[in-house]
Structures are given as C-alpha cells and as structure tokens.
Structure 1
C-alpha cells in the first residue's frame, strides 16, 4: 500500500516546501496535484512562484474539485503531492458541494493508493473565532477534514517557522 503523509501548519510556515522535499526524495515521476484555481492575478502569481520553486521534473495535474479522481488517475506514476487540502475544501464549499462525503471518499481513496501521497493542509483553527458564520463553518470543516486525513495517514508533520515537527 502507498505511504500517506500529511504536512500541516500555518500560512507561510514552510509546509509546501517541506512537502516538496519529501516527494523529491522519493524515486519515480513526481506528480503535483494542484487544487488552486488561477482566478485572479495574485493567485496566478502564487501558482507561478510554487512552480518555479519546484523546478523541472514535476508533472502538474490541476484538479480543484475531483481530488479522488486525480489520485486514482495518477496512482502508480510515482510519488504525488497534493497542495493543498485547504483550497480543495474551499473549492468544494464555494461550489455548494457537501464536503463531508467528499472527505469520506478522500480517506477511502487514500487507503487504496499503491504509491506514496504527501498532502499539504493548513491548520486554521489556532486563531481567534471568526466573526461570521461562513468563516466559522470553514474553520470547523477544515479542522474536521484535517483530523480525518491525519487518522488515515501513516505520518503527520506540523511545520512551524520552516521546521517540521513529527506528530505521528
């Protein structure tokens, strides 16, 4: 079975860089499953910076919603990096989809993987309680999603100031 790693942390903690290093250390074709939507200039710039930092040698699969399908289609090609679950969840919620069955399908798909998967996710619940219901719903959903993926993962790392801490 595939080895599943969850790398989590706050914004700009270094979690994506850490996840890229984990995948780069593995043999085989490196597949980057991108969940970001390039909907505005600022996001397009972020995406370009991530791609430049990774450099050559990565195959990019853009999949903002069908993460389970992207994992199924890429299994066996080499190690995969999913960056990130936070944007995937936001995309699901923005599209009006029920995230809970999607999360259950993701956890089930992770159990079926033959190749390694490293997933990146933000830890969003460490700050103040948001003032509006939508932000609170997102914060709560992200926490629950992270818990489910962490339980399914073989390893969990929490990145703080660029330094990984092994949690599981």
Structure 2
C-alpha cells in the first residue's frame, strides 16, 4: 500500500503521516532523506528525532532508498522534497537528469512489499520563486509529485492540519 500525503509547509503532513503509520504498525520505520545543510537544519532534524518514541526505527538515507530492505514494514518516507533536492543539487540543477534519476530510484524502491506513507510538499501552491533555480525546482517537485500520486493507492492533501482525501 502506498499512501501519498502532500500539503504546504507546516500544514501538518508529518503529524498525520506518523498517526497513520502508528495505526498500521507497532514498530514503524521513519525514513529521513534530508542532508544536513547547516547547524539550524541539524537542530531541526534532532528535534524531529526526539519527538519520535522508541517504537520507531529511524533510518537516514539521502538518495539511494531502494537499497534498503523494508519488506513487510510500515515506512514513513519524509520527505520527497528534501530527497529530490539531493538529486537536483547532485545533477548541477539539471531538471531532466534529476527527474529521471529520482523516478528510477522511486520505481526500484516501491518494488518491495510494504506499507509506504510518503510525505511531500506542494511548493507550487505558494509564492512564485524569484530565482531560476527556484522555478526549476518547483517544476521538478510538481512533476515528481504527479508521478508518485499516480502510483499511490491513496492520496491525501493536508490543509491547516485537516486531511482531505483525494484518492
């Protein structure tokens, strides 16, 4: 089962995803994809870890999520935006290359038999990016979100902490 959860920044996506995972498993997996960009980001990541109790298995993987063996588990993938950023930066901001690599990695990852809850941001619903890189990334994010949502069994949009079922 793939459950895709999207929404704006600070909309409540992660809290909702965590609740859903805990309904499905006594020992879910939290798969974090963020690189540590600076000290503030590092502190934010530490706070997220501290908010999860001992029921959770925490795994950090920036890009190569398909190498993880997660069969028969419930996994929260947090988040596509940060994961996609890693492909974008590593491909020198080439949208086509980043998208192709991310799709290939995602397709390999979802071959496993598991419950997967995916968190992503709807950055295209916000302010229009003022830089070329920002606009390219918003396009990349939108295309990857569509790709994932089409493959998902269930899709939920979170607005102001309220889940809206899309699929």
Cα distance in 1 for partners of 2:162, 2:48 equals: 19
Aligned length: 163
Q: Which runs of 4+ in 1 moved over 6 A?
A: none
Structure 2 equivalent of residue 52 of structure 1: 50
Deviation string, structure 1 residues 74-131 (Cα, Å, up to 9, x no partner)? 223x101100000001111111172222232244235522110000000000123212
* 8 Å Cα contact 1:8-1:157 kept in structure 2: yes
Deviates more, 1:102-111 or 1:92-101: 102-111
1:109 is matched with which residue?
108
> Contact 1:6 / 1:118 at 8 angstroms: preserved in 2?
yes
1:6-155 map, 5 Å: 6-70=4-68, 73-76=69-72, 78-96=73-91, 98-109=97-108, 111-155=110-154
TM-score norm. by structure 2 comes to 0.90
How many angstroms does 1:51 deviate by? 1.4
Contact map agreement 1:107 1:152 (CA 8 A) in 2: no
Structure 2 segments unaligned to the other structure (5+ residues): none
RMSD: 1.6
Deviation track 1:22-60 (CA, whole Å, cap 9, x = no partner) reads: 111112531111001123221112112211222221111
SS in 2 for 1:74: coil
Instruction: Give the secondary-structure state (helix, strand or coil) at the position aligned to 2:9.
Output: coil
